[in-house]
Amino acid sequence: MTALDRRSFLGRGLATAGGVLASGIAIETLGTHASWAEAGRPAFDPRQVGYGPLSRRAAENTGEELLALPAGFSYVVLGKTGTPMSDGVPTPIAHDGMAAFPGTRRHTARLIRNHEVRTTPGSPIGRVHVEGSRRYDELGVGGTTTLEVDLRSGEVLQHFVSLNGTIVNCAGGRMLGHRGWLTCEETTAGPVQGWGRKHGYIYEVPLDGPRPGRPAPSQPLKAMGRFSHEAVAVDPRTGYVYETEDDSGKPDGFYRFRPKDPRNLSAGGVLEMLKIKGKDNYDCREGQKMGARLPVEWVTIDSPDPDVEGGAQTCTQQGLAKGGAKFNRLEGCWYGDGSIFFNSTSGGDAKNGDAPNADGYLEGYGQVWRHIPNRRDGGTLVLVYESPGRKVLDSPDNLTFTPRGGIVLCEDDASDADADPHPLAPGLTNVNRLIGLDPRRGQPFEFAVNIADESEFAGACFSPDGSTLFVNQLGNTAALDPPGRTYAIRGPWQRGPL
């Protein structure tokens, strides 16, 4: 990997020429992939794309067969549920969204990882919890952990709770200046459901500060909205924070937060929902044309922290009442090349057969959207890819652009109707994969298959030096089995398109 390749991937370099180059290649990849899919090409030919055929492989440090990977690739397991951490706390359950930062020493990386724990209030099962720490909700079971990893050996040097007192921490995104992680709650539960306080917020997890036995204080950023948050991405030019919403079974919105002080989100700001200009409640979920440019305007959410328990309109209802656009299950969100990319996990015209949503919408196999901001107006929205069926891509969740301009999509196949078995994972019904996209031909390929269980992949991200792909296996969100795991995957990246 060249020095330019490394610089182009580093999050802090996204505004540089290297960052634009890598993102531009990835954008071309999405366009090429869309053309490839529209031509009705076969789903996979492992002899011609990616890194070749996959086979079941055992983890180097545990000997368990958990992943199927191409020849030449290996992996180790980090932070499995239940293993003791440096602070004495057992590793929590439900490994979800994640980001990689430069470590405190040479040849290391620091990971901040979400835990989407969905147990009952105060439950000890897989809880993210440090007794005596400053936390928002004493009954909270979710939060984040931080891992310091040696990139040469795969050894975990430190591993500790970095935030607790929250619930259902699903995904998030890097803070402005890459000073840390913004972690999001995918729920609006509160005291009515037995919790000590209201939830549905975003919280800051500083890169520096938290240490074993001393997590960061969990303080909700209420002006950024109370809704079922999924992920965020920050535009480094303006400091605006773009937010995705995933409230299953209902229309979702795409939001932006314009802070008063981009480096102090707690100072407040304005929350807005995307609207297609001149078209109230435009339905982005189906009937869309890839490549079409839709002009955007933004409508203000007047009450970003609504008292929904008292009958107030939710953020989503407020935005839709002003003509906001409808999406379905917005999840992964990423900034690059001056744009915000985000996944609609169940958008699209090819339907997966699940029961209709509350408003009659039938879910699809997934979409990838691009919002292009513009200082002069609301910007532009473009559908850059839509899956034609499960064999190509089934339910994209997190997305990451790779050091060499390829794309990795994490599948979250939760379909009840459309079984998705795999020959490398006998006995499993809904198998989840990491799907790569070739930047030269746009052709999709399987890079990894979860052969351990039916839980989703999440949190895919490369180490700052580009040598290691980190990715999570969610595991169970309410029990210890199957466990959550983090994988560190290494191999001959230069041999293929990632």
Q: What is the pLDDT of residue 427?
A: 95
Measured over the CA atoms of residue 73, residue 79, residue 85 and residue 86, the dihedral's sign is positive
Q: What is the pLDDT of residue 93?
A: 98
Domain boundaries, given as residue ranges, for the chain: 3-495
For tokens 């409230």, what's the residue?
Answer: 247
Q: What are phi and psi of 391, to 5 degrees?
A: -65, -30
Three-class SS string for 404-418? Answer: CCCEEEEECCCCCCC
C-alpha distance from residue 35 to each of 25, 63, 372, 386, 436 (Å): 15, 41, 21, 10, 16
Q: What is the pLDDT of residue 8?
A: 29
Q: How far apart are CA 323 and CA 305, in angstroms?
A: 20
The series of mean pLDDT values per 10 residues for the chain, 498 residues long, is 28 30 67 73 64 97 98 97 97 98 95 98 98 96 98 96 98 96 98 98 96 97 98 97 94 98 98 98 97 97 96 97 97 90 96 92 95 94 92 91 85 79 94 87 88 97 95 98 98 92
Three-class SS string for 440-486? Answer: CCCCEEEEEEECCCCCCEEEEEECCCCCCEEEEECCCCCCCCCCCEE
Q: What is the pLDDT of residue 61?
A: 96
Q: What is the pLDDT of residue 17?
A: 26
Closest by Cα among 198, 195, 171 to 183: 171
Closest by Cα among 239, 161, 170 to 199: 170
Q: H or E element: which one contains 28?
A: helix 17-38
CATH fold for the domain made of 3-495: Neuraminidase (2.120.10)
User: E strands, 367-438, where?
Assistant: 367-372, 380-386, 396-401, 407-411, 433-437
Q: What is the pLDDT of residue 404?
A: 76
Q: How far apart are CA 220 and CA 240, in angstroms?
A: 18
Q: What is the pTM of this model?
A: 0.93
Closest by Cα among 177, 178, 233, 179 to 202: 233
